[in-house]
Amino acid sequence: MTSFSETAQTGADIVVETLEQHGVTHVFGVPGAKIDKVFDRLLDSSITTVVCRHEQNAAFIAGGIGRMTGKAGVAIATSGPGVSNLATGLATAHSEGDPLVALGGGVAVADRLKSLHQTLDSVNVLKPVTKFAAEVDSPAATAEVLSAAFRAAESGRPGSAFVSLPIDVMNAPAACRPIRLRSILEQGAGSTAAIAEAARLIDEATNPVVLLGLMASKPGAANAIRHLLNKKALPVVGTFQAAGALSEREFAMFGGRVGQLANQPVDQLLESADLVVTIGYDAIEYWPSIWNKDNDRAIVHIDVVPAQIENDYNPSVEIIGNIEESLYQLSVLITRSVLSKRTSLLLEQIKHDRANLLAEAAVQGGDPIHPFRIIAELQKFMSPDVTLCSDMGSFSLYLSRYLTSFRARQVLISNGQQTLGVALPWAIAASIVRPTEKVLSVSGDGGFLFSAMELETAVRLRSNLVHMVWIDGSYNMVAAQEELKYGRHSGTDLGSVDVVRYAEAFGAKGFQVSGPDDLATTLRSAFDIPGPVLIGVNVDYTKNAQLFEAVHHDSIL
Ligand SMILES: Cc1ncc2c(n1)N[C@]1([C@@](C)(O)[C@](C)(O)C(=O)O)S[C@H](CCOP(=O)(O)OP(=O)(O)O)[C@H](C)N1C2
Ligand SMILES: [Mg+2]
């Protein structure tokens, strides 16, 4: 008897062929009765199905692939709780500019309003955290809805898209063909009038400062930014997700990374500006009410999408289009070639502070280890062939503020939703996308257990990655802020986890660092071990409260 799959094509065949048409090589997810037809058809495709241990992490991995490649990563889940588990990953990718397409199983179209197992109005659940969410409610619509999802996820400001695939449509004979994309979708530069006005404002300003945002760390935009800064005297600051936009050549103009609170020397540079030129910046990264409160200074907004107008963010001119094309045209028109005295002095002071801090950090003793010593040791490994995936927590403030990176999208951090648990899944994504490179992911002991189950996935995939856990026995990033607000902390104390035995339980290698002088040696050994390796590091957070206060570097040490 001929199996169903050898007769007419079904909706599931169209889904799989459309994924192949979009160059998808991997899908990440957890199967279930409402989506297993697609899983079955994937068996006969060129696509690798990576089974994950939780749909949240499947979405994190897919988002990580999107951030590193610019092409949508694909997550797949069954209906009901499978789809609702995707929400955190979709929200994170949507807030942080990562192209991601998620596919969710669904009950038959005719049963949508009945109470069946794992029924969920998934489109309405996920619409608020996606650029596009729709259900394929007819066999004739499969290819069009999927193509619209990829178009939404990958174009303009990238983000999440969701498609619900009802089981009857997936099993029914296909009534359409996959759509073979033919067009080249590239925006041009922004309007010449806007570019000319921006150049005039920049040349006439006394203290212009460039603020780089998450889209600035896309490789193409990073190259154009470097070109601009090598020709024109403009000081620059960056958000945490803009890491890697500059090369070492522009580092002297770099005031540092801004984010979370305006309590760093670099904030004085931003504060001194009478004109701020934002490039690929999103308000979610560093709220205008923090750095531009009630300020009516001029703002030039350069991005692929118009600005979100707020009381504290109302640009004088907006250059909307392909960022690199806009910057190359702007570079030609700008004439200024010297920094203002004030800017030069501030950059000099920041450079001096930075050198002092890192010199002291490099010899900081003690175990548990001071965060700055860990940063000083990690800096030794930040060669261009390393991808660093950061989870969220107090440690990530140290990483974001003080660990330098000179390669676009080398450092991945969640600074939109600031989501716990992203690091290990992103490291799995990096081990797939960049198989010849070293991958280092870092989490706190809280965030680690949000996605640690994927260690089994990493072992199964033989992912070459090193995951470091900063152990302090608490959700410190909350505790430190609570201490400042209430004089005490609550709901933040954790028990201990033996990272070495946890690793061994999953068939991975684990190390517990015995002190600051052991850290570099352990990291070096870990990178030489094939497959995933866990490293536990006890960290001394006794001075962390000052991370969140208005404070100068040298009193944190
Ligand atoms: C999905 C999700 N759920 C809940 C929160 C979260 N993500 N993120 C944080 C955040 C960023 O939201 C914020 C700023 O800490 C906070 O709200 O206070 S991270 C933070 C925990 C960090 O603990 P961890 O041990 O991992 O790291 P250290 O800080 O170095 O000890 C806390 C739990 N947050 C709430
Ligand atoms: Mg912790």
Ligand 1, atom 34: nearest CA belongs to which residue? Answer: 478
**What is the CA(493)–ligand 2 centre distance, in A?**
9
Q: Among 477, 481, 542, which is best to mutate for testing ligand 1, by the most ligand atoms less than 8 A from CB?
A: 477
- Calpha distance 532→359 (Å, rounded): 32
- Ligand 1 binding pocket, CB closer than 6 Å: 392-395, 418-420, 443-447, 470, 472, 474-478, 481
CATH of domain 362-555: 3.40.50.970
What pLDDT band is residue 499 in, cutting at 50, 70 and 90? very high
* CA–CA distance, 529 with 263 (Å, rounded to integer): 40
Q: Report residue 358 as tokens.
A: 């890192």
Looking at domain 192-345, its CATH architecture is: 3-Layer(aba) Sandwich (3.40)
Residue range(s) of every CATH 3.40.50.1220 domain in the chain: 192-345
Query: Is 232's pLDDT higher than 90?
Result: no
User: Which residues share a beta bridge with 76?
Assistant: 29, 103
Residue 260, classed as helix, strand or coil, is coil
- Residue 265's pLDDT band, with cuts at 50, 70 and 90, is confident
**Residue range(s) in the chain whose domain bears CATH number 3.40.50.970:** 5-174, 362-555
Burial string for 498-525 (b: 16+ CB within 10 Å, else e) reads ebbebbeebebbbbbbeebebbeebbee
Which residue, by CA, sits nearest to atom 21 of ligand 1? 475
Prediction pTM value? 0.96
Which ligand is closest to the CA of 395, given by its number? 1
Angle, CA of 484, 486 and 489, to the nearest 5°: 85
Measured in residues, the chain has a length of: 557
Give 104's strand partners: 77, 164
Pocket probe for ligand 1: among 287, 475, 496, 540, the residue whose CB has the most ligand atoms within 8 Å is 475
Q: With 60 as the cut, is the pLDDT of residue 377 above it?
A: yes
The C-alpha atoms of residue 36 and residue 19 are separated, in whole angstroms, by 16
Res. 294 pLDDT band, cuts 50 70 90: confident
Distance CA 120, CA 3 (A): 30
Residue 472 CA, ligand 2 centroid: distance in Å: 5
Atom of ligand 1 nearest to the CA of 478: 18
Q: How far apart are CA 308 and CA 323, in angstroms?
A: 17
Percentage of residues in the chain having pLDDT higher than 90 = 88
CATH superfamily of 5-174: Thiamin diphosphate (ThDP)-binding fold, Pyr/PP domains (3.40.50.970)
Is the alpha carbon torsion for 245, 251, 257, 258 positive or negative?
negative
Q: How confident is the model at residue 552 (pLDDT cuts 50, 70, 90)?
A: very low
Pairing state between β 411-413 and 386-390: parallel
- 478 alpha carbon to ligand 1 midpoint, in Å? 6
Query: What integer pLDDT is reported at residue 551 of this predicted model?
Result: 44
Name the residue at shortest CA distance from atom 5 of ligand 1. 420
Look at ligand 1, atom 17, and give the residue with the nearest C-alpha: 478
Q: Looking at ligand 1, which atom is closest to the CA of residue 477?
A: 29
Atom number of ligand 1 nearest to Cα 492: 33
pLDDT band at 186 (very low <50, low <70, confident <90, very high): confident
The Å distance, Cα 456 to ligand 2 centre, comes to 22
**How does residue 233 score in pLDDT terms, banded at 50, 70 and 90?**
confident
